[in-house]
């Protein structure tokens, strides 16, 4: 089907169609992380504690983990273009409800809608993107969708916080709604019909997970995402401990996102012939900062260099892991895509929670070293891998 769809589209139409999915991922992730910079404002509006306001981040993650496989199961043979449009419409509804939510309960409803859209869009969007282009360009199409995620972390979240500063936190959701509208309109105009090869059933997920290569891939995805977010959640406290001025922190975090965005694009050029090597190098590059950041905390310049190395590694890793995951020889490609999103979202939640527990009981250093250990074990796991049903 991939070959037939790509043959029917001009190269320009292919690029626009993939770009519309990248814009959709940008809109989704921008909206998902929007509360990070405006939690105090939300808690004041609804007269709740900061911890309770944090549910605006927890609820979308939970719903995303459920919706990734759930939408695939219930979509049947429905045209994938139609599903993408519905998911974008649900995201828009979530944004608009947040702008007028009279109670915190309604606010959580809006966040649940965002989560439903986010999880299913990641799974469906990645699956559709690689079907829009020739097989040899599939990794570049996936990179474009991931680039939308990275761009959201660079531009979307800071821009949302800036809008909130000059208007209100509800204004930030208005801005997110405008981006969601742009994505919806573009998808409506340029996405072609993408028929499903066959309905996705629960047995497809079971059949995929039974594959030894699938289980290995799931373990690697879970390990890397959990380790990264266990550490990333506490990056800012470590930066402050290193004595880096507050004014420089914002610049550093923007650089983190910008370099990650560039790394994503560069990595896509190496994956076709060097997937395993690129994945292994990215894991080691991630483990080094986790190991050394707590040790060199008294040297701000070294800390900055290590954080930028972390950025390069993380910019490449999600794309590498997704490419590895998609390269597993299986008849259940849509179930495989949903399992990637499900595993990543669950790992993010577990990693953030585990990191908090480690920090509370053992301190920041222990948390970063735990993350390093997980990534090193994951790299060793990859190094001992022998070619089975993975097509490299």
Return the CATH number at 66: 1.20.1250.20
Cα distance between residue 221 and residue 320, in whole Å: 10
Residue 389 lies in a domain: no
Q: How far apart are CA 27 and CA 105, in angstroms?
A: 23
Got the DSSP string for 339-358?
HHHHHHHHHHHHHHHHHHHH
Find tokens 């599903």 and name the residue: 83
Residue 391: inside a domain: no
DSSP SS3 for 262: helix
Tally of CA atoms within 13 A in the half-sphere of 15 that contains its CB: 3
Q: What does the DSSP 8-state code read for residue 328?
A: B
> Which residue, of 140, 159, 190, is where some domain finishes?
190
Q: Which two tokens stand for residue 372?
A: 């390093």
User: Does the residue 108 lie in any domain?
Assistant: yes
Domain range spanning residue 274?
202-383
The per-residue pLDDT for 362 is 86
Block residue for tokens 């986790």: 290
Provide the pLDDT for residue 391.
40
Do both 305 and 255 map to the same domain? Answer: yes
Residues 15 and 141 occupy one common structural domain: yes
What percent of the chain lies above the pLDDT cut of 90?
28
Q: What is the mean pLDDT of residues 316-341?
A: 83
Residue 390 covered by a domain:
no
Same domain, 243 and 277: yes
One DSSP character per residue, 190-240 reads HPPP---SS---HHHHHHHHHSHHHHHHHHHHHHHHHHHHHHHTTHHHHHH
Judge whether 392 lies within some domain: no
Given a cut of 60, whether residue 134 has pLDDT beyond it is: yes
Question: Are residues 226 and 363 both part of a single domain?
Answer: yes
Establish if 38 belongs to a structural domain. yes
Q: For position 36, what pLDDT does the model report?
A: 66
CA distances from 301 to 238, 244, 304, 314 (A): 14, 9, 5, 20
Of 144, 163, 190, the residue that ends a domain is 190
Residues 250 and 179 in one domain: no
Of 232, 280, 267, 268, the residue nearest 253 (C-alpha)? 232
Helix (H, G, I), strand (E, B) or coil at 122: helix
User: How does pLDDT run across 222-251, given as a tens digit for each residue?
Assistant: 999 999 988 876 776 777 676 766 566 667
Mean pLDDT of all residues belonging to the chain: 82
How many angstroms from the chain centroid is the CA of residue 97? 23
Query: Looking at the structure, do residues 253 and 277 belong to the same domain, yes or no?
Result: yes
Of 168, 190, 212, which closes a domain? 190
120 and 264 part of one domain = no
User: Considering the entire predicted model, what is its pTM?
Assistant: 0.76
Query: Same domain, yes or no, for 315 and 338?
Result: yes
Both 26 and 93 in one domain: the answer is yes
Instruction: Compute how many other C-beta atoms are within 10 angstroms of the C-beta atom of residue 277.
Output: 12
The count of C-alpha atoms lying within 13 angstroms of the C-alpha of 58, restricted to the half-sphere facing its C-beta, is 9
In a domain, 263, yes or no: yes
Count of structural domains within the chain: 2
> 186 versus 129: which is more confidently predicted?
186
Say yes or no to pLDDT of 305 above 90: no
Task: Work out the angle at residue 114's Cα, subtended by the Cα atoms of residues 110 and 118, and round it to the nearest 5 degrees.
Answer: 170
Question: CB neighbours (10 Å) of residue 288?
Answer: 17
| Gap between the terminal Cα atoms of the chain | 21
Q: Is 80 exceeded by the pLDDT of residue 287?
A: yes
Q: Residue 144: which H helix or E strand, with range?
A: helix 138-151
Average pLDDT for 197-209: 79
Within a domain: 143: yes
Cα(89)–Cα(388) distance, rounded to whole angstroms? 41
| Residue 20, number of CB atoms within 10 A of its CB | 25
What local confidence, expressed as pLDDT, does residue 174 receive? 94
Are the CB atoms for 208 and 335 separated by under 8 Å? yes
Considering the domain architecture, whether residues 280 and 315 belong to the same structural domain is answered as yes
The answer to whether 128 and 19 are in contact (CB under 8 A) is no
Which residues have C-beta within 8 Å of that of residue 258, sequence separation ≥ 6? 154
> Is 4 or 249 the better-scoring residue by pLDDT?
249
Report the C-alpha gap between 83 and 43 in whole angstroms: 34
Report whether 31 contacts 176 (CB < 8 A).
yes
Question: Residue 203, Cβ neighbours under 10 Å: how many?
Answer: 10
- 147 and 177 share one domain: yes
CA 152 to chain centre: 10
**Residue 234 sits in the same domain as residue 361:** yes
């Amino acid at each position: 089907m991939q070959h037939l769809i790509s043959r029917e589209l001009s190269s320009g139409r292919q690029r626009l169609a993939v770009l519309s999915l990248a814009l959709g991922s940008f809109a989704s992730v921008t909206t998902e992380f929007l509360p990070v910079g405006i939690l105090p404002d939300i808690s004041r509006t609804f007269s709740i504690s900061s911890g309770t306001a944090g549910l605006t981040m927890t609820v979308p993650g939970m719903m995303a983990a459920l919706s990734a496989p759930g939408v695939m199961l219930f979509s049947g043979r429905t045209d994938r273009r139609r599903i993408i449009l519905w998911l974008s419409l649900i995201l828009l509804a979530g944004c608009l409800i947040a702008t007028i939510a009279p109670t915190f309960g309604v606010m959580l409803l809006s966040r649940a809608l965002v989560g439903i859209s986010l999880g299913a869009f990641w799974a469906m969007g990645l699956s559709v993107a690689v079907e829009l282009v020739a097989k040899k360009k599939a990794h570049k199409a996936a990179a474009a969708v991931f680039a939308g995620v990275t761009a959201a972390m660079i531009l979307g979240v800071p821009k949302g916080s800036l809008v909130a500063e000059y208007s209100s936190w509800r204004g930030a959701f208005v801005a997110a709604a405008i981006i969601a509208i742009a994505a919806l309109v573009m998808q409506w105009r340029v996405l072609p019909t993408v028929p499903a090869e066959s309905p996705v059933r629960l047995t497809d997920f079971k059949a995929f997970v039974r594959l030894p290569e699938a289980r290995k891939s799931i373990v690697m995805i879970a390990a890397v995402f959990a380790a990264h977010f266990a550490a990333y959640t506490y990056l800012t406290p470590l930066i402050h401990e290193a004595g880096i001025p507050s004014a420089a922190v914002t610049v550093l975090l923007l650089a983190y996102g910008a370099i990650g965005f560039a790394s994503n694009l560069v990595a896509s050029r190496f994956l076709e012939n060097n997937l395993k090597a690129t994945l292994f190098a990215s894991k080691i590059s991630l483990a080094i900062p986790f190991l050394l950041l707590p040790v060199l905390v008294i040297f701000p310049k070294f800390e900055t260099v290590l954080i930028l190395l972390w950025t390069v590694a993380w910019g490449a890793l999600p794309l590498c892991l997704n490419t590895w995951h998609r390269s597993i020889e299986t008849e259940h490609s849509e179930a495989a895509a949903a399992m990637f999103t499900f595993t990543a979202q669950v790992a993010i939640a577990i990693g953030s929670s585990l990191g908090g527990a480690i920090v509370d009981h053992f301190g920041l250093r222990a948390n970063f070293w735990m993350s390093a250990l997980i990534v090193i074990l994951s790299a060793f796991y990859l190094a001992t891998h022998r070619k089975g049903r993975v097509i490299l």
